[in-house]
């Protein structure tokens, strides 16, 4: 399970990089993803506030985020089994 | 305690799953609700996993260091958000940087937790094999 979660984290980081590369920027003037000015969830919008099409980054980001979160649920179950009982 | 830790962490995962299903340009209300729910659940979830884990999994110094760091980080963020709400600081870049700091710290904690959990499972397995051989 630990290996699956590690693989998921590596894959998610790679997908995040791809989504950042595909993101067209908030508007035509920005032109790219700006680390300090754009939220991470900006990568998931289908259309940017400036009206630019963002379906590619949106697809990659939302699919990777959704899969990563579903993969984590069995890990949380395993991990929570090693929490002490309240005494 | 186990169930509570699992419910908080699984609730976080489902909340972020909801974020992936509701892009903020299509369903902004749902998107924000999912984000706030996920954040509200992961803080107690991580603190439970951290502070109430088996003693064999991690030492008290590790627990206190992470818990202290988490509290300090949250207090700093609260201060910055207050400054933003009083228009002392601009919301950008402060809010996007706070978000990235939170995600980065969560990622770092996940890496450390996976490392420790894997080592704990390996130790337990080798102990079990040793006792079976004996």
Q: What pLDDT is attached to residue A19? A: 94
Of the partner residues A5, A63, A66, the one whose CB lies closest to the CB of residue B114: A5
Top residue of B13, B98, B110 to mutate, by most chain A CBs within 10 Å, is: B13
Pair (B82, B47) in one structural domain = no
B119 touches chain A (CB under 8 A): no
> What are the tokens at B100?
């990235």
Mutate which: A33, A79, A85, A86, vs B, most B CBs within 10 A: A79
B69 lies in the same domain as B130:
yes
**CA A81, chain centre distance (Å):** 27
In a domain, A51, yes or no: yes
B96/B130 same-domain check: yes
Q: What is the pLDDT of residue A6?
A: 92
Q: Is residue B21 less than 8 Å (CB to CB) from chain A?
A: yes
Q: A50 vs chain B: nearest CA distance in angstroms?
A: 12
Q: Which residue has the higher pLDDT, B56 or B11?
A: B11
Whether the CB of A52 is below 8 Å from some CB of chain B: the reply is: no
Residues B43 and B71 in one domain: no
The Cα A71–Cα A4 span in angstroms is 8
From the list B25, B117, B118, the residue facing A45 with the nearest CB is B25
Tell me which chain A residues have a C-beta less than 8 angstroms from the C-beta of B6: 76-77, 80
Residue A25 in any domain: the answer is yes
Q: Determine if the pTM surpasses 0.80.
A: yes
Judgement on whether residues B30 and B84 belong to the same structural domain of the protein: no
Determine, for residues B96 and A77 on separate chains, whether the beta-carbon distance falls below 8 Å.
no
Asked if residue A73 belongs to a domain, the reply is: yes
Q: Is the peptide bond between B93 and the residue preceding it cis, with omega within 30 degrees of 0? A: yes
Domain count of the fold of chain A: 1
For residues B68 and B134, state if they share a domain.
Answer: yes
Domain annotation covers residue A86: no
* Same domain for B83 and B18: no
Residue A60 lies in a domain: yes
Do B134 and B105 belong to one domain?
A: yes
Residues of the domain holding B103: 59-134
User: What is the biggest distance separating any 2 CA atoms in chain A, rounded to whole angstroms?
Assistant: 59
The reply to whether B22 and B66 lie within a common domain is no
**Cα gap B10→B47, rounded to integer Å:** 14
Classified as helix, coil or strand, B49 is helix
Query: CB contact, 8 Å: A7 with chain B?
Result: no
pLDDT digits (tens, 9 = 90+) for A40-79: 999 999 999 888 999 999 999 999 999 999 999 999 999 9
Count the domains in chain B: 2
Average pLDDT over residues B6-31: 92
> In this structure, which long-range contacts are made by residues B85-94, counting pairs with CB atoms below 8 Å and at least 24 apart in sequence?
B92/A36, B92/A37, B93/A36, B93/A37
Q: What is the pLDDT of residue A85?
A: 63
Same domain, B31 and B85: no
CA-based nearest residue to B99, from B81, B114, B82, B111: B81
CB A82 within 8 A of CB B54: yes
- The answer to whether the beta carbons of residues B11 and B3 sit under 8 Å apart is no
Q: How would DSSP label each residue in A41-66?
A: GGGG-SB-TTS-B-HHHHHHHHHHHH
The number of residues making up chain B comes to 134
Predicted interface score ipTM higher than 0.90: no
B88 and B130, same domain (yes or no): yes
């Amino acid at each position: 399970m630990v290996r699956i979660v590690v693989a998921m984290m590596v894959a998610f980081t790679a997908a995040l990089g791809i989504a950042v590369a595909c993101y067209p920027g908030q508007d035509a003037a920005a032109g790219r993803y700006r680390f300090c000015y754009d939220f991470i969830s900006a990568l998931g919008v289908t259309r940017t506030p400036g009206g630019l099409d963002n379906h590619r980054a949106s697809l990659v980001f939302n699919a990777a985020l959704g899969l990563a979160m579903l993969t984590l649920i069995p890990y949380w179950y395993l991990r929570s089994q090693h929490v002490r009982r309240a005494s | 305690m186990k169930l509570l830790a699992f419910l908080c962490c699984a609730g976080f995962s489902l909340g972020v799953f909801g974020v992936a299903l509701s892009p903020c340009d299509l369903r902004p209300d749902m998107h924000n609700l999912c984000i706030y729910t996920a954040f509200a659940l992961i803080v107690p979830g991580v603190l439970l996993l951290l502070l109430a884990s088996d003693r064999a999994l991690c030492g008290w110094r590790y627990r206190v260091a992470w818990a202290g760091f988490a509290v300090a980080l949250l207090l700093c963020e609260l201060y910055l958000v207050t400054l933003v709400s009083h228009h002392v600081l601009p919301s950008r870049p402060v809010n996007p940087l706070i978000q990235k700091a939170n995600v980065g710290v969560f990622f770092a904690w996940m890496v450390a937790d996976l490392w420790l959990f894997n080592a704990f499972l390996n130790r337990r397995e080798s102990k079990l094999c040793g006792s079976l051989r004996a």
